[in-house]
Amino acid sequence: MIRLIEKGLMFGNLVHISSPALVERYNRALQHLAGKTTALTDFHVDISGYSPEVGIELDDPLYLNPNGVNRQFILLTTEQKRAPLLNVKFSTSRDILREFIEMNEAQLFALTATDAVAGELVNSVFKLTTPRDLLNLRKIEIEADTVGGTLRKADQLAGMVERFKTEEDAWFDDVLIANMIETAKETGDVTRNPVRLRHTAFEKRNFWTAHFGGMYLFTDLDHPAAICMGERPVDLPIKYVFDPSQRNQIAKFLNYNDLVEPIVKARGVDAAAILQQKMDFLTVDAAADAGIDLTGLDRSDMRRLARNHADRLPEAYHGLAQLLRWATDGGPWPRITSDHPAYFYSLRAANTPNRDLVNMLLAELAPLDPRQMFICHKELFYRTYGGWSEPKKAYVAEFLAREYQVDKAGARAALFGHEPDMSGEDRVSEAVIARVGPWGAVRKE
């Protein structure tokens, strides 16, 4: 993993914590949440305040995520909103944390000026014992306060102010007045500057979890289903439960819910370039298995490798090649049905609220495309990367550093964006798509 770290492909965009004041605040928050402290004076944190260096020191990668269910967090600065989330157990966690920070940025900025904000993503489940428990994760609430209890004390002060205004003899209550003065020293004037956090409840019905071997739950759709990458549970109370071997059923589920579209149909993207790059990755995988040096490969080298090792190329390569010929040269429409190895490589998520989750699923169903896996499913990428040969590790790391890191937004938009095509030209005729459909042979009129 050292190669990935050096190229900024792992532990990138973390927030550096080095000032004694912030380290001291972090330790107070860590003691408050987990009963632990760190002896480190220099470390990095993600959006939740988790530090890989502290995790190594404590020998506990889940020191802020007990049982992998209720994620705790430590906010030292609102700049953490730009950081990634490490050791992800639920696909929704980072989105919730970022939305919470952005919705309360002014308040959190003021609070973190003097103290750390510690909190937790709370739901009704504290430990997952069976997959059925996942269906109870319907609503996530954020509980947060400074370690010194500023928000709690602000609520208390607001209550005392209300008593002072409404109770008949409050003007003569010296104890009440003294308590108000002491509390106001810590909270400020809550009548003019109320200290409250808003938007602390989130509903996320469709999500991925790393638990139980990895599972995608789509319960908030017209045709709900669960897709289990590990052992398929027999008692999950959802009508349709699939595993990766059920390609046809997964394809029907994605189609029935309008969750995917073929890459060649997407407007505003260079479909040919995307398909060609996917083919290159398949070529690299076959060449790496053959022990071929992958250093400095260019497009002509890729063509040569594909020619010389055509017998080693997977069936997915040939399917994508047929699709590429159809899209660029007007060749015959290839029959790429859902049981074809190229099928899931030829798709991307449609523009729906579940776009990121669907792209995450497609990355797992098309595992020989490391670029999509890195962008959409980093946990899977890091896990898969460890099993590759050294030549493939070097090639993929160099490619991602060269082609993706330099323009992340542009790469994401080119692959997965749904912006309108401003050129006024369709790369693929809508009439043709309507006739042939995105996957099968030409339909009869």
Query: Bigger pLDDT: 396 or 161?
Result: 396
CA 209 → CA 131, 134, 153, 368, distances in Å? 10, 9, 36, 22
Q: Which of 202, 245, 243 is nearest to 225 (CA)?
A: 243
pLDDT-derived band at 189, boundaries 50, 70, 90: low
pLDDT at 418: 54
Q: Which of 381, 354, 382, 357 is nearest to 370 (CA)?
A: 381
pLDDT at 417: 66
Mean pLDDT of the chain: 84
Q: Report the C-alpha gap between 372 and 271 in whole angstroms.
A: 14
pTM given for the model: 0.83
For the cut 70, the answer to whether the pLDDT of residue 115 exceeds it is yes
Query: Bigger pLDDT: 111 or 372?
Result: 372
pLDDT tens string 230-255: 889 888 889 899 999 999 999 999 99
Half-sphere exposure of 171 (CA within 13 A, CB side): 1
Whose tokens are 């500023």? That residue is 150
For the cut 90, the answer to whether the pLDDT of residue 409 exceeds it is no
The stretch 413-424 carries a mean pLDDT of 54
Lowest mean pLDDT among 73-82, 152-161, 338-347, 400-409: 152-161
pLDDT at 124: 66
Most confident of 133-147, 257-271, 319-333: 133-147
For the cut 70, the answer to whether the pLDDT of residue 281 exceeds it is yes
The stretch 353-372 carries a mean pLDDT of 95
